[in-house]
């Protein structure tokens, strides 16, 4: 139940944000497709440089950013709830 | 603006409580009661491809010679995620005397065989009919499917298909590879696992039918465990899950040389074809004097430790051992069944929430848990221990509903602005990484125009270039070093962000 409550709190916060904020993407489809094109071309030079390791590192970095900035966002919301204002 | 935030956050805990209660009310209503409120467990015995289904023939006849000469080659395909089960078998009829004018095919899920054998619980029953030169399936007098050709001394191949969704049986008869087609034959299936198929060949005179052929091949069942199976038809809740097997005993003389009869049950669980866990289900020992020759015994094993609570395939094996006075044992018979638990069907939540925590404790039902005045010290200890386990489990372990709900909402959250500005790039990049194909046999070349003004690409760099210069070992070290440099750079970047 303790873990359930914690998950429910997070779900409430994320759910409220997902409900109120607009579902608008700022990235044109061409940008996203260009990323796919770039990655597929980078993979070709794997015979010279270990691009598989490079991709793993990029994924590691992205996953870190997701966790880090999500945590900062939650902490800032928690601070606001305490009355300390929004500090990001 | 600040006041608005204050007002919002003042009521924030109330939102949390309402959200929690609302969702859990729904959760309890939907799928929170997997174990205790009568939800069906989707345990279905199956043979992916098995000859365990035994087709028997020509052993018990009221007239001689039999009109059915041979039968066999049974293959039973059970598709747990598909709508159809398929059974193939073949039979060979007699064409000289006592030619069968029709066949009846029975499928049944249980057999009691104590000479003579008889059937219980038919799964399906339909006729295979033939005249002198025609064989066809028949569902009624007005519907039939013809297969041309004389009745000859050859094998016929039958295919039976269960339509599990519509509860129909369809049959196809093949002769020398020719498919005769389909004819739906309505039958009532009780959903039980098919154990055996039986063919009855019938001869008739005028309007008079009588059964001519074959019931159960009793000799093949002697000293054999007829089946071992999760008693699916009896399962209403998980707590009712039990195993049932049947033992038929012959008059073999060696039978009495054993002091004991051991029955070992093993369960293997596999998710991807590899056995990932094995558990001894039960080891039972009976005095041999308890058994009477030419008798059939039904056994039920109810062991809550072995409740199947994971998805995937289960292999259940049974080994019947005769144990001598010296303790030495001899394997008399073995049997194996496969059954699966799938998530695709509804009603059973395999992840469960804190189930089976007290199965190893002496939590007897007498006295009942509320009759505390009759509790012994052991009852009290077991009850307190059980309560402690459940308390801790409920407190700490999240229910699958919570994790699923959080996951769904988080995925939705990632799609809204401004957060999607990051998540879209991240997910696109990661998906591109996952779908990209690494190449090690490319060649890097430079363009060149020769004296005849022809453009050509001169290969300059390939995967073997570095190995040629510094050797294969050094090239590997060089490549690994670059990889570590990538990792070092990534770590530095993360440290800078945190800084």
In this prediction, residue B131 has a pLDDT band, given cuts at 50, 70 and 90, of very low
Mean pLDDT of B86-97: 64
Mean pLDDT of B305-318: 57
Residue B397 reports pLDDT greater than 70: yes
Please provide the average confidence, as pLDDT, over all residues in chain B.
59
Q: Which residues on neighbouring strands pair with residue B202, listed in sequence order? A: B102, B211
Strands B329-341 and B312-323: antiparallel
Q: Does the N-terminal peptide bond of residue B466 adopt cis geometry, omega within 30 degrees of 0?
A: no
In this prediction, residue B492 has a pLDDT band, given cuts at 50, 70 and 90, of very high
Strands B168-175 and B183-186: antiparallel
Query: Which fold does the domain B54-220 belong to in CATH?
Result: Jelly Rolls (2.60.120)
At residue A76, the pLDDT reads 83
More confident residue, B29 or B278: B278
In this prediction, residue B487 has a pLDDT band, given cuts at 50, 70 and 90, of very high
CA distance B407 to chain A (A): 8
CA distance B467 to chain A (A): 11
Size of interface A-B (CB pairs under 8 A): 170
At residue B11, the pLDDT reads 64
At residue A9, the pLDDT reads 84
B447 with B457: CB under 8 angstroms?
Answer: yes
Chain B window 418-437: which residues touch A at a Cβ cutoff of 8 Å?
418-426, 428-433, 435-437
Mean pLDDT of B462-479: 86
* Residue A15 with chain B: CB contacts under 8 Å: 19, 409, 412-413
In this prediction, residue B15 has a pLDDT band, given cuts at 50, 70 and 90, of low
State the residue for tokens 């796919």: A36
Residues B178-229: tens digit of each pLDDT: 444 333 343 433 344 455 555 655 554 433 333 333 222 222 222 333 333 4
Strands (E), B131-259: 135-138, 144-147, 155-163, 168-175, 178-179, 183-186, 196-205, 208-211, 224-230, 243-248
Verify whether the Cβ–Cβ distance A47 to B462 is below 8 Å.
Answer: yes
In this prediction, residue B481 has a pLDDT band, given cuts at 50, 70 and 90, of very high
* Residue A83 with chain B: CB contacts under 8 Å: 6, 9
Residue B428 reports pLDDT greater than 80: yes
Residue B342 reports pLDDT greater than 90: no
More confident residue, B471 or B274: B471
When mean pLDDT is compared across A7-21, B358-372, B421-435, B471-485, the lowest value belongs to B358-372
Residues B16-53: tens digit of each pLDDT: 666 655 554 443 332 222 223 222 222 223 333 333 44
Q: B16 at the A interface (CB within 8 A)?
A: yes
Residues near B342 by beta carbon (within 8 Å), at least 6 away in sequence: B42, B44, B80, B81, B311
**CA separation for the pair B67, B36 (Å, rounded):** 53
- The domain segmentation of chain A, as residue ranges, is 27-82
What is the distance in angstroms between the CA of the first residue and the CA of the last residue of chain A?
A: 30
CA distance A29 to chain B (A): 11
B374 with B367: CB under 8 angstroms?
Answer: yes
Which of A12, A51, A68 comes nearest B19 by C-beta? A12
- The domain segmentation of chain B, as residue ranges, is 54-220, 224-341, 354-397
Q: Which chain B residue shows the shortest CA-CA distance from A82? A: B9
In this prediction, residue B135 has a pLDDT band, given cuts at 50, 70 and 90, of very low
CA dihedral defined by B305, B306, B312, B316, rounded to 10 degrees?
A: 160
- pTM for this entry: 0.39
Sign of CA pseudo-dihedral B340, B345, B351, B355:
negative
Residues near B148 by beta carbon (within 8 Å), at least 6 away in sequence: B133, B134
* Residue B480 with chain A: CB contacts under 8 Å: 50
Residue B66 reports pLDDT greater than 90: no
CA distance A60 to chain B (A): 8
What SS3 state is found at B287? strand
Mean pLDDT of B416-443: 80
Residue B99 reports pLDDT greater than 70: no
* B361-392 CB burial, b ≥16 within 10 A, e <16: beeeeeeeeeeeeeeeeebeebbeebeeeeee
**CA separation for the pair B261, B335 (Å, rounded):** 16
**CA separation for the pair B424, B411 (Å, rounded):** 11
Q: B497 at the A interface (CB within 8 A)?
A: yes
At residue A86, the pLDDT reads 59
If we measure between CA atoms, which residue out of B348, B296, B256 comes closest to residue B116? B296
| Highest mean pLDDT out of B68-77, B81-90, B152-161, B340-349 | B152-161
**Homologous superfamily of domain range B224-341:** Immunoglobulins (2.60.40.10)
In this prediction, residue B378 has a pLDDT band, given cuts at 50, 70 and 90, of low
At residue B84, the pLDDT reads 57
B96 with B108: CB under 8 angstroms?
Answer: no
Q: Which residues on neighbouring strands pair with residue B43, listed in sequence order? A: B341
**CA separation for the pair B166, B197 (Å, rounded):** 21
Residue B78 reports pLDDT greater than 80: no
Residue B277 reports pLDDT greater than 50: yes
Q: Do domains B54-220 and B224-341 have the same CATH topology?
A: no
CA distance A48 to chain B (A): 6
Residue B331 reports pLDDT greater than 50: yes
Which of B353, B395, B398 should we substitute to test contact with A (largest number of A Cβ atoms within 10 Å)? Answer: B398
More confident residue, B250 or A44: A44
At residue B483, the pLDDT reads 93
CA atoms within 13 A on the CB side of B144: 17
At residue B166, the pLDDT reads 61
Q: B486 at the A interface (CB within 8 A)?
A: yes
Mean pLDDT of B107-126: 41
Specify the DSSP class assigned to residue B49. Answer: S
* Residue B402 with chain A: CB contacts under 8 Å: 3-4, 7-8, 11
Token pair of B116 as six digits: 């003579």
């Amino acid at each position: 139940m303790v873990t359930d409550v914690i998950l429910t709190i997070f779900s409430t916060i994320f759910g409220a944000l997902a409900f109120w904020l607009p579902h608008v993407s700022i990235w044109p489809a061409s940008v996203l497709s260009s990323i796919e094109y770039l990655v597929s071309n980078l993979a070709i030079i794997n015979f010279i440089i270990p691009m598989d390791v490079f991709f793993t590192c990029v994924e590691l970095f992205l996953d870190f950013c997701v966790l880090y900035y999500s945590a900062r966002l939650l902490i800032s919301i928690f601070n606001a709830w305490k009355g300390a204002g929004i500090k990001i | 603006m600040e006041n608005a935030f204050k007002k919002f956050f003042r009521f924030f805990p109330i939102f949390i409580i309402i959200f929690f209660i609302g969702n859990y009310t729904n959760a309890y209503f939907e799928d929170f009661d997997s174990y205790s409120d009568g939800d069906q467990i989707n345990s279905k015995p199956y043979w992916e491809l098995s000859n365990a289904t035994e087709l028997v023939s020509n052993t018990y006849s009221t007239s001689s010679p039999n009109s059915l000469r041979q039968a066999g080659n049974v293959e039973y395909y059970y598709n747990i995620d598909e709508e159809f089960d398929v059974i193939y078998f073949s039979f060979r009829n007699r064409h000289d005397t006592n030619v069968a004018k029709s066949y009846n095919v029975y499928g049944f899920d249980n057999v009691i065989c104590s000479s003579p054998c008889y059937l219980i619980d038919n799964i399906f029953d339909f006729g295979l009919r033939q005249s002198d030169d025609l064989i066809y399936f028949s569902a009624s007098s007005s519907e039939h499917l013809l297969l041309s050709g004389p009745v000859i001394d050859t094998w016929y191949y039958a295919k039976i298909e269960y339509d599990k969704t519509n509860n129909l049986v369809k049959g196809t008869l093949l002769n020398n590879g020719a498919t005769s087609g389909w004819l739906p034959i309505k039958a009532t299936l009780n959903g039980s696992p098919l154990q055996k198929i039986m063919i009855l060949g019938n001869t008739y005179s005028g309007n008079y039918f009588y059964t001519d052929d074959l019931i159960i091949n009793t000799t093949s069942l002697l000293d054999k465990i007829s089946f071992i199976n999760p008693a699916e038809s009896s399962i209403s809740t998980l707590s009712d899950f039990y195993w049932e097997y049947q033992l038929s005993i012959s008059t073999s003389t060696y039978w009495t040389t054993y002091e004991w009869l051991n029955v070992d049950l093993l369960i293997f669980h596999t998710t991807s074809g590899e056995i990932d866990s094995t558990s001894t289900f039960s080891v039972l020992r009976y005095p041999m004097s308890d058994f009477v020759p030419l008798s059939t015994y039904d056994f039920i094993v109810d062991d809550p430790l072995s409740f199947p609570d994971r998805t995937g395939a289960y292999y259940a094996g049974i080994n019947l051992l005769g144990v001598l006075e010296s303790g030495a044992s001899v394997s008399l018979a073995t049997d194996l069944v496969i059954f699966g638990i799938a998530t695709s069907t509804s009603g059973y939540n395999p992840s469960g929430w804190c189930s089976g925590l007290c199965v190893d404790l002496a939590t007897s039902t007498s006295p009942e848990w509320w009759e505390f005045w009759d509790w012994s010290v052991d009852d009290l200890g077991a009850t307190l221990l059980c309560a402690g386990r459940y308390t801790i489990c409920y407190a700490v372990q999240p229910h699958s509903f919570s994790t699923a709900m959080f996951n769904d909402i988080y995925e939705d959250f990632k799609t809204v602005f401004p957060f999607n500005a990051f998540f879209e790039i991240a997910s696109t990049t990661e998906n591109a990484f996952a779908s990209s194909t690494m190449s090690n046999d490319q060649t890097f070349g430079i363009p060149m125009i020769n004296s005849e003004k022809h453009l050509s690409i001169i290969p300059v760099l390939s995967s073997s270039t570095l190995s040629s210069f510094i050797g294969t070992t050094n090239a590997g070290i060089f490549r690994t070093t670059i990889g570590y440099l990538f990792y070092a750079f990534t770590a530095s970047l993360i440290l800078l962000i945190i800084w």
